[in-house]
Structure 1
């Protein structure tokens, strides 16, 4: 079986691999989701016992459900924001005690004792979304039809908050899609109250998504906050289980975005709020008795603020942990601070706070090489001089971590092996590994990773496995290039599909331009208000630099392909630089930035009405509408788009196609009926041969 078919059947070799891995707060168990094998899409709930080193199945959807059932609309939306295409159990939440867990399955509520392994269904008032158990382990909060409920283990249900036309306890589109805040309520440490978000989308523009392949079905109406338009109104409230109600106060007109919320035993609630253009933010502590807030830290950047995931948080000694940037005295670093004092060395690029062991923080960070990520243990206790960060992982690769009490879970990704290897440690001693039942990719790619140009841009080049030096090859630039995401990483799974392209007769080139993370904050933010110019210039310069180092790259035959932001850049490349790029495949591209969402677009381009031509200059429609100067400059494009995409709506591609047609520019289009932005269900893998045929026909011979 060839790669496209095998990848479609195995969800790119992820079915059967552990995912959604977490250490329980007491450190006694590692909980995770995994399907039964390499072609099984239905995830089951598993637990690894740290004391015994044994894992066991806790909940199997096939046994819990007599038949299939539709997901609630809110659950489908959450899975889309999480980019989750697996079926079965989508997510779970463990109790703060670590003794139990809850999950929703087809809208039904289930509770499990992690030690005993008992699973039972808890009656609910309606279809359940995002259940979470309280710190006492006796009550479960959940959302149903926009109302926030609390039910005890005997099924006694109470409505904590409900209101027509608004939702309680769910993250709005912007919070989930752009700030990665996927939840909308938080239990108090004593289990007597819930801090809940109220979301009113009444003023958000309504867009209508319709799949033309099913004309008998009504369109779906979504509240979509496009650039320059209205956002949802988000407020926070402390809801007492006895009926008490306290509003949380902050200047919401100035700081409308609620980016992060945490509430732990170490202190009261902490929230992060940002201005609309995200150049200034506040970390606020909340008084749970009055709802009044106090500023703990200010976040400021003339371009945009980039909070560190896992912050803010209370440290055991009461100080508040905040992530930010060190951009003075010659430093250009992404660091952690405790009450304003630096606690990580400025040579680290801190990516995430993963947990805590004793008084030490476990963090994920990059130290020099942006293609790698390592685990560090950071001392937070007073005493000594300077900062104290000890690197835990040693071998080359990309590592992720989860930690609680004395238990540390490390996931290792590498070019040397397939998938993620999860190892469990207790008091620094190895306890065991989580098994993977995923299929192994059919080959081992060996990309050449190096940095080029005076800007030290990370790149990767991959040749056919049977390549003979001296044989000139057409070049396939596989691109994303957008902020917040890297492609040039030392992870085998990122290169497996690219090896299929290489074996089809290409030198595959991958370039992380300025704007991608991992190098430095100034590298990240060089794209502010001008990402089309900066990114495309980096891509062209890096390609030229690579050709000097790799003489087998034939720059007279260059194609470029990408999805989402990568689709935008692919189309931009052939429109602006037809002298470099000879054809393009653009999947789900953003073509008109006034049609994309507020938080993402305004972060990088500002408001559409701020003046100037920023939006026009970065639009594909303006360029596409101009007839090519020379007939040979009209490079062929293949456009692909899901017709019910609620993130980058299909109007982007349809408008681009109209502009190309009016200007006489050649292009083809594949509408994906019923597909969202993920193009899940094997669609993207099944497109590969069509893309390959288009590229072979379009490139110069």
Structure 2
């Protein structure tokens, strides 16, 4: 069946949201002669292959093909690798990540539990004879060794397969060396647990002991013959894993890195480059204080380089902390009401930009991703751009309305751009502002086109996206409304990119005016905007109401028929909406919601709501299942469809079951759709497709639109 014959739900599911076949995970070699990347063979092929592009000729070479390397055998994943992919939200197959040496001549990757290395100039790949299953293999900067994790031990092997040995072995089943613990991977975006020295003679190795962490068991009731899976889950107010760090040489001798772990238990980031000593970012548990520490690799002693403090919380950012070539500290900090790039003690940006991440640190400038700040001359709703920053000023290098990002080495950049008017994204190799070659994408063309209007709603100028049915005319009259938010921290939904709005457009084509609103708490505006939700996540729902009413005068919105749908935080938001504002919202699809804040993890929940032992009333107010959550404000009972994956180890299904129990006890009718064997990602094709269809059916029934 061709893409033209597929329904949108089936195409959307089969293409994994149109990500398959698109190039990704770019690396530019320091000599600027190679661009390395991953890409599958088509828009429906889940298996990623490793490619190398010549930026001058545009010629591509296939370096590693999983089908050839595995001899046609099916890929096998260990439980540890499945958990790692769940943390990174990785739904594809084959080579899903890789690491290279300093010269980008040797790549290492895991495939079906084995270590493979690829010579990027020669275009050959081979397996190394090491014990498995293997996780996260990484070459040393000089390309002579590969470090990797197997069964909780950090091991090392020569690039030719010689001298395999353990550098650090777990003392018991609760200990791992070289892996990120759950909370680091899920919430800090630290997916690694070991780091090579720039001289390739030793490593920094994290040791995680999860024995203090409470145990939960996740069962699949559809398969009672299977044992439940034991999960060490650090819920709010409970113990985290104990994380330590060691400097380890290539023979296994190690020295512990010393800092005040009682006061700063979170190992948030690690950086080790030739520009300075190993650099750590450690956070206090309340995330209101953090220290940048330089490590003496010989003694393990640390010295304080810088201290950040914030009365609300401190965020973590990609690419920092790091050393500039001259040895100054590079960081992103909230200062003077803005989120700025600072080098040493000097901020290099101001209120005109809201810095998101550091993309590259060059000899004479720093490449950053940023959005226009609140003091920008004109609003750039949903946009994100790439800028060069140095002591002389700021230069935007991305062009046109859209969402842009980049990878750079030297003067060669891969610039990836998504725009509202074109599906997918374009990856261009650029030098000195000149486009050299576009990297081919095999992603499918969607069978529908998103006609999104980016605007602002309400007195707070809440960023919004509005989508109407294809071909809608004013004479068609007002439309039932579907609010379609994520609406919370870390989840920017109102973006100037086409594919981000395809599902919303499909819902619009079922007869709805769809509104996506990024209220307070959502990223991409200002620190104050994001931090307004401290102790009060309910504000996110109030902003959905304000956005809705603010748009009603400009768009054909029938406020007597308003539904809301969401997943994860968006599911929580949907539940809040119908329980606390049934005067506004008339039906809700509540997907994988956090209903009891005490059941979600430490680093996330405590950042926003504090310690549940000290602020139980805050947790009660922000819960869906307490008296605050099931308030008597809603004598009007609104239809609610609760959807949850039974295999979810992030937002466990207990959230949905407790909500259902509380609703039943309160005499509130509702529907529950359990998804057997499904995790937080819902990657299965049939599940993803039918979930969309079932939601439309529920929404039309609930709003009295069954005949529409």
**Normalised by the size of structure 2, how large is the TM-score?**
0.95
Residue 318 (1) aligns with residue 327 (2): yes
Residue 606 (1) aligns with residue 610 (2): yes
Kept in 1, the 8 Å contact 2:267–2:282? The answer is yes
Deviations 1:45-81 (A, max 9, x none): 1111224322221111110103114212221111101
The corresponding residue for 1:375 is 386
Deviations 1:201-244 (A, max 9, x none): 01100000000001111010010000000000001100011332
Q: CA deviation at 1:26?
A: 4.2
The corresponding residue for 2:156 is 150
Structure 1 CA distance, aligned partners of 2:695 and 2:504? 13
Structure 2 CA distance, aligned partners of 1:359 and 1:219? 55
Residue 576 (1) aligns with residue 554 (2): no
The corresponding residue for 1:47 is 52
Kept in 2, the 8 Å contact 1:287–1:293? The answer is yes
Residue 79 (1) aligns with residue 79 (2): no
Structure 1 CA distance, aligned partners of 2:629 and 2:500? 35
Cα 1:293–1:630 change in 2 (3 A) is closer
Kept in 1, the 8 Å contact 2:493–2:518? The answer is yes
Residue 486 (1) aligns with residue 492 (2): yes
Cα 1:72–1:25 change in 2 (3 A) is farther
Residue 692 (1) aligns with residue 696 (2): yes
The corresponding residue for 1:516 is 522
Deviations 1:437-467 (A, max 9, x none): 1110112212111112221110111000121
Structure 1 CA distance, aligned partners of 2:97 and 2:630? 48
Structure 2 CA distance, aligned partners of 1:201 and 1:105? 27
Structure 2 CA distance, aligned partners of 1:630 and 1:54? 63
Q: CA deviation at 1:10?
A: 1.5
Kept in 1, the 8 Å contact 2:621–2:628? The answer is no
Correspondence list, 1:452-531, <5 A: 452-470=457-475, 471-531=477-537
Structure 1 CA distance, aligned partners of 2:625 and 2:459? 32
The corresponding residue for 2:27 is 22
Question: Which of 215, 223, 233 is 2:232 aligned to?
Answer: 223
Question: Which of 579, 586, 589 is 2:593 aligned to?
Answer: 589
Report how many aligned residue pairs link the two structures: 688
The corresponding residue for 1:676 is 679
Aligned to 2:700, the other structure's residue is in SS state helix
Kept in 1, the 8 Å contact 2:273–2:323? The answer is yes
The corresponding residue for 2:3 is none
Residue 545 (1) aligns with residue 550 (2): yes
The corresponding residue for 1:109 is 115
Residue 235 (1) aligns with residue 241 (2): no
Deviations 1:6-26 (A, max 9, x none): 112221222111122232344
The corresponding residue for 1:403 is 408
Structure 2 CA distance, aligned partners of 1:476 and 1:130? 42
Aligned to 1:531, the other structure's residue is in SS state coil
Residue 214 (1) aligns with residue 223 (2): yes
Structure 2 CA distance, aligned partners of 1:171 and 1:597? 15
Cα 1:276–1:624 change in 2 (3 A) is closer
Structure 1 CA distance, aligned partners of 2:13 and 2:522? 28
Which range is displaced more, 354-363 or 263-272? Answer: 354-363
Aligned to 2:552, the other structure's residue is in SS state helix
Question: Which of 639, 660, 671 is 2:642 aligned to?
Answer: 639
Q: CA deviation at 1:630?
A: 6.7
Structure 1 CA distance, aligned partners of 2:197 and 2:54? 27
Residue 270 (1) aligns with residue 279 (2): yes
CA RMSD of aligned residues (A): 1.4
Aligned to 2:664, the other structure's residue is in SS state helix
Aligned to 1:268, the other structure's residue is in SS state coil
Residue 353 (1) aligns with residue 364 (2): no
Deviations 1:393-443 (A, max 9, x none): 121111011111221110001112111100011343322111001110112
Aligned to 2:594, the other structure's residue is in SS state coil
Q: CA deviation at 1:285?
A: 0.9
Aligned to 2:155, the other structure's residue is in SS state strand
Aligned to 2:484, the other structure's residue is in SS state strand
Kept in 2, the 8 Å contact 1:24–1:94? The answer is no
The corresponding residue for 1:434 is 439
Deviations 1:324-378 (A, max 9, x none): 0112xxxx21111111111123311000111134421111111242510011011
Kept in 1, the 8 Å contact 2:579–2:631? The answer is no
Q: CA deviation at 1:296?
A: 1.3
Structure 2 CA distance, aligned partners of 1:194 and 1:174? 22
Q: CA deviation at 1:626?
A: 4.5
The corresponding residue for 1:423 is 428
The corresponding residue for 2:168 is 161
Aligned to 1:305, the other structure's residue is in SS state coil
Aligned to 2:19, the other structure's residue is in SS state coil
Aligned to 2:625, the other structure's residue is in SS state helix
Structure 2 CA distance, aligned partners of 1:342 and 1:286? 25
Kept in 1, the 8 Å contact 2:576–2:629? The answer is no
The corresponding residue for 1:560 is 564
Structure 2 CA distance, aligned partners of 1:378 and 1:627? 51
Kept in 1, the 8 Å contact 2:339–2:350? The answer is no
| Unaligned runs of at least 5 residues, structure 1 | 381-386
Structure 1 CA distance, aligned partners of 2:552 and 2:32? 51
Q: CA deviation at 1:629?
A: 6.1
Deviations 1:297-339 (A, max 9, x none): 1111111001331111111111111110112xxxx21111111
The corresponding residue for 2:104 is 98
Kept in 1, the 8 Å contact 2:579–2:630? The answer is no
Q: CA deviation at 1:628?
A: 5.3
Deviations 1:269-292 (A, max 9, x none): 111010001011011111111111
Kept in 2, the 8 Å contact 1:10–1:38? The answer is yes
Aligned to 1:513, the other structure's residue is in SS state coil
Deviations 1:640-666 (A, max 9, x none): 101010000000001101111111111
**Normalised by the size of structure 1, how large is the TM-score?**
0.96
